[in-house]
Structure 1
């Protein structure tokens, strides 16, 4: 029985495995999925998780619960030797071992792309994982606790200053959701006002949100300005050493919460393979989602999808002729890849992936959103409802959808949950503080 190895359990990997269980007959192929995490993260929900609008566990989908006929291995793939059709599996506990396969599907996704700016690696945090989103939420809430006990001055200003680097969808949504959370927190701290909080978004380009029209992006800028949030366009971060922000404009200030959302890059795991990689570090792929070499020849038994793959956009709407790295493509590529793999196992011809953009929708805090499809732009609370409706239905599995919608309904009547659980990072501290120890 042929073995299909899926490297990565994100959007593309999860949906490939899920749909292979539907398309393959029992005994037709063995499916193995390897990922260091036991769940898939629905990343469009991360800004709302950071803002306390979604319970963190509701934004992830368990691999083992929903992939009934797939062998799930919670470990890392640290190497692929496609010439021998083997992959090196490195578990968190135990020795690495080799796993043979007949087809390999690389859907390892992307990681945050950073630049060698002093202080960023030490002071900033990304927005690519559920753990990062929870940490951002707890940090902002805890900073309000601390600031409320301090007199006006530099230390309080530092605690109440939030910096987001990157003006794409992820950056703007994170920025706006945190601004919304901070405004809600002010009601609990009568000694603090909105003038005490400082929100800065730094964008190197001359505009934000390139997925929407320029007119729509201007509306977003105006809305953020009305909410006491400052956007620095045509500005670069030059240093963040010790939390001291230095901008290319010469402006300086200090911040205790720096969030990096300025782009992504293909997962570096592809560098440890003998599969062909293009200049941006992605696997070369054709529209059928098969890996190809520099000459365009198919690499038999190798497939790729999602952010880690350079897949041609046959609609002509991509950047540089390729599909942009977003969830919309990754999910649909995973579904098509499952069909193509089933066809390949049966000796049939695979079909090309083609998907027209359904538009872009963003949530900008409670009751504020934007939607853009071609020349149609919808702004305000209607777009916010569209954002929640779309993503609430798009998150995989009905049990997740029900949890998310029930949480939103609960928050509508009870307001969002604004409790910090930062102490979870040191869970033994309370016990150890009072625990009896043997006398010396």
Structure 2
């Protein structure tokens, strides 16, 4: 019985494994999915997770729940040695080990691309994982609580200044959704007003949303500026040291939050730690039927790839064009990969991947969006409804669709949930300090807070010790 190893449990990997489960006969092959996270993240929902419109867990699909006949390994693949037919797996606990396979499916996905900008790694946060989206939401909510007790001035202004770098779909959607959240919060904070908020969107090109034509892109800029946002076009981030943002245009300001969404990079496992043929950009070379090919165009036996880490030819575009690395493409590539792999196991020819775009749609906050399909353009409420309708149909499994719909219904009836759970990043703080007020601990006291406290001391004593 052949052993099929799927490297990565994202869109393409999940749908490939799901399709294999449905198509393989009993005893025909066994499937293993390897991913550091035990779930698939539905990334189009991350902007709404950041704004509290979608619950974080509902933007994920647990692999073990929906891949019933697939072995799921929680670990990171650090090397693919196709000559030896092995992958090296590094679990979170224990020593790395080699896992043998007969067929490999590479769907490791892309990673956030960073640049050598001073302060970027120390200060910024990405928006590619659900944990990052939750952190953005909690940061905004906590910033409002902290700013509301401060008098007008530089510190309040810094707390309520939010900067997003990158004008692609991820950046613009997250920017619009977070702006909508912050604007709605003003009604619950009479101490604060619209003039206290500062939202900055920084894009190096002279336009945003390159996936749409010039008209809709320009409308989005006007729309965001009409809501009080600052959109910096033709501007690059030069520094973010200490939260002080410096742009190539000469503008400078202090920002309490910097979100980096300026593009993706090839997964290092694919670009540097495999003997499979890759392109100059570090993507796996594949044919239109998703089989890996070498530089001469010959098929590499027992190797497949799809999704963001694969250079998939776009047969609907110009010669030499590659498919756009987005969810719409990855889902369909994963499905076809499963069908083609099973076909080759049974001696049949695989089919080429051909997909005509269904259009692009983006949310810009509650009741606001933009949609384009060829010459058809929708903006505002109709586009927002199209966004929600498309993605509730696209998110995998009926169980997840129902959960998302119920959350949206609850928000429509009861409004946003504005409770911040930012303390979850340090859940032991209250236990270690014996209930000492969180604000009594400065950064310099953080290490002292982890020191054991005598059990005979009272809560008041513990608070004094923690604040000392």
Distance 1:418 1:190 in 2: 15
Partner of 2:253: 253
Q: Does 1:437 align with 2:457?
A: no
- Aligned partner of residue 182 in structure 2, secondary structure: helix
The structural deviation recorded for 1:434 is 2.1
Q: Does 1:33 align with 2:50?
A: no
Give a deviation string over 1:335-382, Cα, whole Å, max 9, x none.
Answer: 000001101111211111110000000110000011101111011101
Partner of 1:340: 340
Aligned pairs for 1:121-200 within 5 A: 121-200=121-200
Give a deviation string over 1:215-261, Cα, whole Å, max 9, x none.
Answer: 11111111101110111001111111111111111110010100000
- RMSD over aligned Cα, in angstroms? 1.3
Partner of 1:265: 265
The structural deviation recorded for 1:151 is 0.9
The structural deviation recorded for 1:439 is 6.7
The structural deviation recorded for 1:210 is 0.9
Partner of 1:96: 96
Distance 1:78 1:8 in 2: 12
Distance 1:433 1:125 in 2: 28
- Aligned partner of residue 6 in structure 2, secondary structure: strand
The structural deviation recorded for 1:438 is 5.2
Q: Which structure ranks higher in relative contact order (CA pairs < 8 Å, sequence separation ≥ 6)?
A: 1
Q: Does 1:114 align with 2:131?
A: no
Distance 2:456 2:140 in 1: 41
TM-score, normalization by structure 2: 0.92
The structural deviation recorded for 1:9 is 0.1
Partner of 1:307: 308
The structural deviation recorded for 1:428 is 1.4
Which structure is larger by alpha-carbon Rg, 1 or 2? 2
Distance 1:373 1:253 in 2: 38
TM-score, normalization by structure 1: 0.98
Partner of 1:293: 294
Aligned pairs for 1:325-364 within 5 A: 325-364=325-364
Alignment size in residue pairs:
439
- Aligned partner of residue 393 in structure 1, secondary structure: helix
Distance 1:317 1:56 in 2: 39
Distance 2:455 2:193 in 1: 50
Aligned pairs for 1:41-56 within 5 A: 41-56=41-56
The answer for unaligned runs of 5 or more in structure 2 is 436-452, 458-468
The structural deviation recorded for 1:437 is 3.1
Q: Does 1:279 align with 2:277?
A: no
The answer for unaligned runs of 5 or more in structure 1 is none
- Aligned partner of residue 365 in structure 2, secondary structure: coil
Partner of 2:392: 392
Distance 1:438 1:103 in 2: 57
Distance 2:252 2:245 in 1: 5
Distance 1:297 1:137 in 2: 48
